[in-house]
Structure 1
Amino acid sequence: MAYILGAEQVPKLFLKFLVLFVITFCNGAVDPTSPGSAEFALGEFQNVSLKANTSLGAHLPSIPPNISFIIVQMHTHYLNVTVSISELPATNSSKTGDGSGLFYRLGEGQNKLTWYMESLNLKKVSGLAAALPYTENDPVPGGCNLEFSLETDPNIYLKYNIYETVLQFAPANVGYGRGKPEPTCDVSTDEDSRWRLQYDIHQYFIPENDLSENTFLQHLQKMTDVKQIRLNSKKIATLTSRDKTLMLFSTIPGQGVIYNIIVWDPVLNTSTAYIPAHTYACTFDGTVNSCYLLGKISSKIFFTLTALLGLFVCFLGHRFFKVELFFVGFIFVAFLFFILITKTTDMIYDGRLWLSAVAGVVGGGMLVLFWWRFGSVVFCMLFVGLTFGFMLSSIILFTPLGELIFFRDDIGFWVLFSCIMVVVAAVNIIWSKVLSIIACGILGSYAVVIGIYSYMYTSMSYITLNVLKRLLSRNFRKAYTKVPFQDFDYVIIAIWVFLAFSGILLQFHLQKQQPDFPPNPYEVWIQDRQRRSTNILDPSHHVPPLRERIQKKFTQLGNIFQKEQPAGERTPLLM
């Protein structure tokens, strides 16, 4: 009774607050999966953290009346999150992914909106979410979608393989206001329809060798707003409404890339950004194609050994001519053999790599043997020239010259590539010594660059990798092959240039008083053999033939296992 009387003396305002607190606490304890809520501001990104198997309601108050539609979106590093307009996600009103969102058309008089983000992961998910507003004059991204599940789909879709990354999106529609009918998509093709719209494809590279979530979220915000996209990213291409809504890019495993599209209305001079999409061309939560285990052990062993041989060739290749020939023959044959077995078999990568290495050793040995037997400088320099020409062709077409539309056609690309190779090979035959030394410096130092790539990503490796991809994939000719040039790449370029120049200068200095090429090894061997057989004063004249020396070595080896005879009288007995 005393408790009830005491309660009656409590002020009514405090009692109501107490009741509300108890109800809220009990609801949270009984139903832990009920969505929380957060208030968002239009046009601003906010950090969002979702616990395992929970959802969050995002509330947008005070939407201005001049806003016609809103694009809501959430981005995570790699974990999937479902974005939905309703608390219970439906197929036609929700989207799941690590960077996904929805288009929401506002009704007449509507001034607030609630949307939901749900995580079905078994661990905490962090990311960035935003609601970006647009007016009736702005184009509607994905407004003429006929391919994907949403009626209006502003998302960008990425899929990749080891060669290329494919980007797809739904065509946009012209803008329209609240309460007005949606313009038709394909009834007419005049300037009053969506066919006047243009699409700018933008690409942005996240800093190399950085897979952290914080770095990703920091740089993602540079690819969401139209102004920020144009300021920070590289415009790759502009498509018209009559072009296919599909583009190909060169796949760069382990390198974070963010893509976005700006749809522009040239009549009203207004623009809208799609929802950005990103990829690392690898996985963060698996052992297959893991972003943390990209460098295969077999690749590290193969390219490390190649780099050590290349370092020797860079500084002493022409002086030790047989080593140069072995190096060139190894590269030439191993490269061709790898292409052959990749196009004709389904063998795993490790098997292809080691078979190519064996073929390369055989090819290098055969070229050295040919030089030893015939001593043909022209024939050997032809292989050196072709290999050097391949390298120069790859470098030239790695520059912006290779991004010209003309070189997207295989005929134009391979004709120029082959012409450069043939010209370099021909010049190499004429000025054999000079170009042999230059080839040693450039090829040997680039082998060191490839060796570094097996441990740390560098864009310089794609000088030759892009050519290899084009040889192996028919669709790669359509891909844009732009790669990032960041601080580490400039360091690698400096190392490459330093090794090449120092190696070339050293070899020119060492060969200053030397003949252009060593004499024919076979003729030298014949002359030495004749000299040993006729000159009895030559100590080598008394050296037994090779067969007898081998038999003597085996006899000595067998005597090791014979039991030693006991010592005794070794002189004849006196009679």
Structure 2
Amino acid sequence: MKNLCLFTSLLILFKINSCSKINLSIPIDETINVTIEPNVTYLVTVENITTTATFVTIQGHAYRNVIIYGSTTEVPSSDTSMIGSTIGLVSYLQLEQDTFIWYLKNKEAVAIDVLVIVMQYGAGEFSMPPVPGGCCLTSDLELDPNIKVLQSNYFHTSTEFSQANAGVPRGSDENVCAKSNAPQFRLYYELYIYYLPRFVDHDDYFKGIEKTMTVDRIKENGKKVSSYKGKFQGEVILASIQGQGVIYNVIVTDPLTNHSTAAYVPIVNFACTYTPDYNNQPSCHDILNAGYIAMYIGLSIYGFVLCFLGHYCFKLEVFFFGGLTLGIPAFLIFATSSHLTTAATVTISFVFAGMGGASLYILWWLYGKVLPTMLFVALNLGYLFASCAFFIGPLGNMSVWQDNAAYGLTFTSGMLLIPIFLIPFMRKLSSLATAVWGSYLIMSLVSYVSMSTLHLIIMYPLARTVYSEFNKDLIFLPYNTQDIIIIVVWVVLIVAGLTTQHFLTHKDRRDFPECPAKLYAKTNEFLNTEEQQIPPIVDVTERTPLLQNTASSIDKYE
């Protein structure tokens, strides 16, 4: 029934007839940007296909959520047609075939630009290259070279692609995928990613796709993040950043046919949607939220005071690190696992942070124990250190970290390095922790507004506890010039904060302030002692002797 409905809808939408078709001729293996009018079916003709080519792949890409239709047959069917902002189709070539015709239609009410290419495979030194999506078991298409985004949220994206089929001679479309010794199991796959500019426009979007359409362009411009072989099921989970455009593509290789290769159809993902209420994904129109901007502005002001006056204002330091422990987990949980508004999420996070900060401050105020307090500070600094070690650079993508026990033990060990080595130097630890965390809060505002990645570093370890499949994520963050500049400025602020705190506190005789409760008790005791030394005030009359003790002594002898 589902296939019948899809077939009927495609048939209606195409309305392929003689009065609504426009002929369009494009060269083989060349990328063309065409403008297609609404409610018109384009009959796209590709000529000069070489006689050795065994199959062709068709790609059509529209901007963002614009919808187009493509079909390899005049009468569309579910196994030869598809709908979407990105379409990818594969067709085997018949003997003596040197021309290929396919159909394209614009669903929108206005004219749109579409980036199209038809590539032939088997025309060069590779006689029988693998067929992308040739062993499709997950979609209606008989041959599906598309990469699908199954799920995408704030922190990770789940993608899937169909297994390829081993190459077959021209004129043959034999399906060998069902055989027990099917040759597709010898193929291996390489996943590449390409990051679009942070604030992408129409031209950047198409330029990025054009750089990832063919095997040579993918290897030249993309970044290889993983490889798979054997009976791989095709599902890959990667870390994502809301609003950051990233292009995924896969190259499949057959080691037995001179390492012949073929490319899948690239897909663009923004970890959000431009279509309202689509699949519960966050909206791309809400990337720079006013509530979050206000939150980061407040944190950056606090961070400025902390960076340059942290140890000098020790009470602020104690309150901050207490609030940090509850505030960040609360923000992550309520922002990702609830449907609260931004204002409600920020408010609840600050309430939890205030509770944590007040709790630690009260404990220090009552008992004044420096060692437990600084141990708490050191663990927070260790958490930031371990987060940077795991998520800035290649360390976090080692396959061993998919084991939660191995990851947890290693991450905890990284956290404990700071207390182990710095707890004997508690005054220096205090200055370092406040300078590092304070400058991080300052740069988090810059990172968020510029859609960078630094402000997300402390979220990823906690996201692993919230999302059950986060341990499978491939984490490759787009560290470009902008990100490097932000990190360099962060380091400069750390040095400046340490220097300022040294000049403010190096003359202090005490490393840490005295316990407020004990200081309050000493003050009360001193005041009580002073009151006891003052003689009592009595009523004095004209008959009262000036020397009372003397008078009483004279009375005795009388």
Same fold by TM-score, threshold 0.5 exceeded? yes
Q: Match for residue 202 of structure 2?
A: 213
The answer to whether residue 366 in structure 2 is matched with residue 376 in structure 1 is no
Residue 295 of structure 2 is matched in structure 1 by: 302
Determine helix, strand or coil for the equivalent of 1:224: coil
Is the 8 Å Cα contact of residues 443 and 490 (structure 2) preserved in structure 1? yes
2: CA distance, partners of 1:188 / 1:66:
29
Q: Under a length normalisation based on structure 2, what TM-score does the superposition of the two structures give?
A: 0.86
Distance 2:495 2:73 in 1: 65
State the match for 2:102 in structure 1.
Answer: 115
Rounded to whole Å, the distance in 2 between the matches of 1:353 and 1:58 is 53
Give distance in 2, aligned partners of 1:459 and 1:242: 35
Among candidates 189, 198, 223, match of residue 199 of structure 1: 189
**Shift in Å, 1:283:** 2.4
Which segment drifts farther, 307-316 or 160-169?
160-169
- Structure-2 change in CA distance of 1:33 and 1:396 (3 Å): farther
**1:452 Cα offset (Å):** 2.3
Quote the residue 2:156 is aligned against. Answer: 164
Q: Secondary structure of 1:502's partner? A: helix
| % identical equivalent positions | 28
Kindly tell me: are residues 33 and 443 of structure 1, through their superposed partners in 2, closer, same or farther at Cα, counting changes over 3 Å? Answer: farther
Q: Deviations over 1:341-372 (max 9, x none)?
A: 67987655643432121121122122222222
User: What's the Cα RMSD here?
Assistant: 2.3
Q: 2 CA distance for matches of 1:306 and 1:32?
A: 64
Letter in 2 for 1:530: E
2:61 pairs with one of 71, 75, 98: 75
Deviations 1:362-397 (A, max 9, x none): 221222222222111012112111111111110111
SS at match of 2:172: coil
| Aligned position for 1:40 | 26
Give the direction of change, closer, same or farther, for the CA distance of 1:146–1:343 in structure 2 (3 Å limit): closer
Question: How far is the alpha carbon of 1:195 from its aligned partner?
Answer: 1.5
Match of 1:407 in 2: 401
Aligned partner (choices 269, 279, 282) of residue 279 of structure 1: 269
2:224 is matched with which residue?
Answer: 235
Aligned counterparts, 1:301-380, within 5 A: 301-338=294-331, 350-380=343-373
1:430 aligned onto 2:421:
no
CA distance in 2, matches of 1:222, 1:337: 41
SS at match of 2:285: coil
Aligned partner of 1:138 among 114, 124, 129: 129
Shift of 1:206: 0.8
Which of 519, 524, 544 aligns to 1:524? It is 519
CA–CA distance in structure 2, aligned partners of residues 358 and 32 of structure 1: 67
Query: Distance between the aligned counterparts of 1:211 and 1:496, measured in 2?
Result: 26
Equivalent-residue separation in structure 2 for 1:225 and 1:103 (angstroms): 14
1:92 corresponds in structure 2 to 79
Alpha-carbon distance in 2 for matches of 1:118, 1:345: 40
Distance in 2, Cα, partners of 1:221 & 1:48: 14
Aligned partners of 1:198 and 1:240 also within 8 Å: yes
Structure 2 contact 38–106 (Cα < 8 Å) conserved: yes
- Would you say the 8 A contact 1:33–1:55 is kept in 2? no
Opposite residue 519 of structure 1, the aligned amino acid is E
What is the one-letter code of the residue matched to 2:245? G
Match of 1:477 in 2: 471
Map Cα deviations across residues 511-551 of structure 1 (whole Å, 9 max, x no partner): 2121211122222222233334444799xxxxxxxxxxxxx
**Cα distance change of structure 1 residues 485 and 33 upon mapping to structure 2, 3 Å threshold:** farther
Conservation of the 8 A alpha-carbon contact between 1:54 and 1:120: no
Q: Residue 146 of structure 2 aligns with which residue?
A: 155
Moved more, 116-125 or 409-418: 116-125
**2:267 and 2:106 mapped to 1: Cα distance?**
19
Is the CA contact 1:73–1:83 (under 8 Å) kept in the aligned structure 2? no
Matched residue pairs, number? 505
Does 2:249 match 1:260? yes
Alpha-carbon distance, 1:433 to partner: 0.7
Mark the CA change 1:146 to 1:286 in structure 2 (over 3 Å): closer, same or farther: closer
* Whole-Å separation in 1 of the counterparts to 2:330 and 2:51: 66
Letter of the structure 2 residue corresponding to residue 126 of structure 1:
D
Q: Secondary structure at the match of 1:223?
A: coil
Q: Could you tell me how far apart the structure 2 residues matched to 1:199 and 1:51 are?
A: 37
Unaligned runs of 5+ in 1: 1-30, 539-575
Shift of the alpha carbon at 1:62? Answer: 2.5
SS for the counterpart of 1:143 is: strand
The more displaced of 350-359 and 320-329 is 350-359
Between 416-425 and 142-151, the greater mean CA deviation after superposition: 416-425
Give the Cα–Cα distance (whole angstroms) in 1 for the partners of residues 344 and 251 of structure 2.
44
Name the aligned partner's letter for residue 254 of structure 1: G
- CA distance in 2: counterparts of 1:188 and 1:61, whole angstroms: 38
Deviation sequence 1:27-67 (CA, Å, 0-9, x none): xxxx9971222211010010111223333221112222111
Q: CA separation in 2, counterparts of 1:499 and 1:382?
A: 24
- 1:290 and 1:48 mapped to 2: Cα distance? 29
Compute the displacement of 1:290 (Å): 3.4
Shift of residue 475 of structure 1?
0.5
The alpha-carbon distance between structure 1 residues 346 and 415, as it changes in their structure 2 partners (threshold 3 A), is farther
> What displacement does 1:321 show?
0.1
Q: Quick check: 2:155–2:242 contact (8 Å CA) kept in 1?
A: no
The CA distance in 1 between the partners of 2:154 and 2:55, in whole Å, is 38
